[in-house]
Protein backbone atom coordinates (compact mmCIF):
# COMPACT_ATOMS: atom_id res chain seq x y z
CA UNK A 1 0.00 0.00 0.00
CA UNK A 2 2.68 2.56 0.96
CA UNK A 3 5.82 0.64 -0.01
CA UNK A 4 7.61 1.34 3.34
CA UNK A 5 7.51 5.07 2.59
CA UNK A 6 6.45 7.01 5.72
CA UNK A 7 5.32 10.02 3.66
CA UNK A 8 2.91 7.89 1.63
CA UNK A 9 1.72 6.18 4.83
CA UNK A 10 0.98 9.57 6.43
CA UNK A 11 -0.87 10.73 3.33
CA UNK A 12 -3.02 7.59 3.18
CA UNK A 13 -3.81 7.55 6.90
CA UNK A 14 -4.21 11.34 7.07
CA UNK A 15 -6.81 11.18 4.29
CA UNK A 16 -9.05 9.14 6.59
CA UNK A 17 -8.38 11.20 9.74
CA UNK A 18 -8.63 14.80 8.49
CA UNK A 19 -12.20 15.97 8.90
CA UNK A 20 -13.26 12.58 10.28
CA UNK A 21 -11.58 12.59 13.69
CA UNK A 22 -10.57 14.97 16.47
CA UNK A 23 -7.64 14.55 18.82
CA UNK A 24 -6.76 15.58 22.35
CA UNK A 25 -3.38 15.39 24.05
CA UNK A 26 -3.86 14.34 27.67
CA UNK A 27 -1.25 15.09 30.33
CA UNK A 28 -1.94 12.76 33.25
CA UNK A 29 0.71 11.11 35.40
CA UNK A 30 -0.32 7.45 35.31
CA UNK A 31 2.00 6.72 38.26
CA UNK A 32 -0.34 8.52 40.69
CA UNK A 33 -3.05 5.85 40.71
CA UNK A 34 -3.21 3.24 43.49
CA UNK A 35 -1.45 -0.08 43.06
CA UNK A 36 -3.42 -3.14 41.95
CA UNK A 37 -2.42 -6.76 41.91
CA UNK A 38 -4.84 -7.96 39.24
CA UNK A 39 -3.02 -7.06 36.03
CA UNK A 40 -3.78 -9.81 33.49
CA UNK A 41 -1.14 -12.10 32.09
CA UNK A 42 0.22 -10.42 28.97
CA UNK A 43 3.53 -11.03 27.29
CA UNK A 44 4.81 -8.37 24.96
CA UNK A 45 8.21 -7.42 23.62
CA UNK A 46 9.94 -4.21 24.65
CA UNK A 47 8.97 -1.93 27.52
CA UNK A 48 5.22 -2.06 26.96
CA UNK A 49 4.28 -3.91 30.14
CA UNK A 50 5.23 -1.19 32.70
CA UNK A 51 3.11 1.44 30.91
CA UNK A 52 0.32 -1.09 30.37
CA UNK A 53 0.21 -1.74 34.14
CA UNK A 54 0.00 2.00 34.82
CA UNK A 55 -2.83 2.41 32.30
CA UNK A 56 -4.61 -0.60 33.87
CA UNK A 57 -4.53 1.11 37.29
CA UNK A 58 -5.83 4.43 35.92
CA UNK A 59 -8.54 2.75 33.86
CA UNK A 60 -9.98 0.93 36.86
CA UNK A 61 -10.05 4.10 38.96
CA UNK A 62 -11.66 6.33 36.33
CA UNK A 63 -13.90 4.09 34.22
CA UNK A 64 -16.47 1.34 34.25
CA UNK A 65 -15.85 -1.02 31.38
CA UNK A 66 -13.54 -3.60 29.93
CA UNK A 67 -9.84 -3.49 29.11
CA UNK A 68 -7.94 -6.31 27.41
CA UNK A 69 -4.31 -6.50 26.29
CA UNK A 70 -3.20 -8.27 23.12
CA UNK A 71 -1.09 -7.49 20.08
CA UNK A 72 -1.75 -5.35 17.00
CA UNK A 73 -3.02 -3.14 18.53
CA UNK A 74 -1.81 -3.51 22.12
CA UNK A 75 -5.15 -3.09 23.88
CA UNK A 76 -8.88 -2.57 23.41
CA UNK A 77 -12.03 -2.31 25.44
CA UNK A 78 -15.15 -0.38 26.29
CA UNK A 79 -16.17 2.17 28.87
CA UNK A 80 -19.23 4.16 29.78
CA UNK A 81 -19.27 7.87 28.97
CA UNK A 82 -21.65 10.12 30.90
CA UNK A 83 -22.35 12.94 28.45
CA UNK A 84 -24.25 11.62 26.62
CA UNK A 85 -24.56 8.30 28.42
CA UNK A 86 -23.19 5.69 26.02
CA UNK A 87 -20.70 2.87 25.74
CA UNK A 88 -17.54 3.87 23.91
CA UNK A 89 -15.33 1.36 22.14
CA UNK A 90 -11.59 1.98 22.12
CA UNK A 91 -8.39 0.53 20.78
CA UNK A 92 -4.87 1.64 21.52
CA UNK A 93 -1.17 1.14 21.38
CA UNK A 94 1.75 1.76 23.69
CA UNK A 95 4.47 3.88 22.16
CA UNK A 96 4.37 4.30 18.41
CA UNK A 97 1.82 2.30 16.44
CA UNK A 98 3.04 1.06 13.08
CA UNK A 99 1.44 2.53 9.97
CA UNK A 100 0.43 -0.93 8.77
CA UNK A 101 -1.38 -1.80 12.01
CA UNK A 102 -3.11 1.57 12.21
CA UNK A 103 -3.98 1.80 8.53
CA UNK A 104 -4.97 -1.82 7.90
CA UNK A 105 -6.09 -3.23 11.26
CA UNK A 106 -7.51 -0.16 13.04
CA UNK A 107 -9.00 2.41 10.65
CA UNK A 108 -11.36 0.02 8.81
CA UNK A 109 -12.89 -0.88 12.19
CA UNK A 110 -13.38 2.66 13.54
CA UNK A 111 -16.90 4.02 13.64
CA UNK A 112 -18.50 7.24 14.85
CA UNK A 113 -17.76 7.69 18.55
CA UNK A 114 -14.97 5.10 18.68
CA UNK A 115 -11.69 6.10 20.27
CA UNK A 116 -8.01 5.45 19.62
CA UNK A 117 -5.60 5.90 22.53
CA UNK A 118 -1.85 6.17 22.08
CA UNK A 119 0.05 5.80 25.34
CA UNK A 120 3.12 7.84 24.49
CA UNK A 121 4.70 7.77 27.95
CA UNK A 122 3.82 7.52 31.63
CA UNK A 123 2.25 10.97 31.48
CA UNK A 124 1.19 11.65 27.88
CA UNK A 125 -1.71 10.07 26.02
CA UNK A 126 -3.14 11.01 22.64
CA UNK A 127 -6.85 10.39 22.27
CA UNK A 128 -8.41 10.32 18.80
CA UNK A 129 -12.20 10.38 18.62
CA UNK A 130 -13.84 9.42 15.36
CA UNK A 131 -16.62 11.85 14.47
CA UNK A 132 -17.42 10.02 11.22
CA UNK A 133 -17.82 6.34 10.45
CA UNK A 134 -14.35 5.87 8.94
CA UNK A 135 -14.80 2.11 8.76
CA UNK A 136 -17.84 2.51 6.52
CA UNK A 137 -16.09 5.17 4.40
CA UNK A 138 -13.11 2.87 3.84
CA UNK A 139 -15.28 -0.14 3.02
CA UNK A 140 -17.35 1.96 0.58
CA UNK A 141 -14.16 3.26 -1.04
CA UNK A 142 -12.74 -0.25 -1.46
CA UNK A 143 -16.05 -1.54 -2.84
CA UNK A 144 -16.13 1.33 -5.37
CA UNK A 145 -12.55 0.60 -6.41
CA UNK A 146 -13.39 -3.07 -6.98
CA UNK A 147 -16.40 -2.14 -9.11
CA UNK A 148 -14.15 -0.39 -11.64
pLDDT tens figures, 23-75: 999 999 999 999 999 999 888 777 789 999 999 999 999 998 999 999 888 99
- Which residues pair with residue 66 across a beta bridge? 78
Q: Where does the pLDDT of residue 2 fall: very low under 50, low under 70, confident under 90, or very high at 90 and above?
A: low
> What is the average pLDDT across 122-143?
87
Torsion of CA 49, 107, 125, 127, to 10 degrees: -140
What DSSP assignment string belongs to 39-104? Answer: PPP---STTHHHHHHHHHHHHHHH--EEEEE-SSSSEEEEEEEETTEEEEEEEEEESPPPHHIIII
pLDDT tens figures, 82-109: 777 788 899 999 988 887 788 778 888 8
pLDDT in the model for residue 3: 64
Burial of 12 (0-12, 13-18, 19+ CB in 10 A): middle
> What is the average pLDDT across 134-147?
80
Amino acid sequence: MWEDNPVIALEVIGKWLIGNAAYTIIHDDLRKYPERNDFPRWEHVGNHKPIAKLFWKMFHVKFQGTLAFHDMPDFSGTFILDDPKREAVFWGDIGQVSASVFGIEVLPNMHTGDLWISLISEDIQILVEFVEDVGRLIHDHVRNQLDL
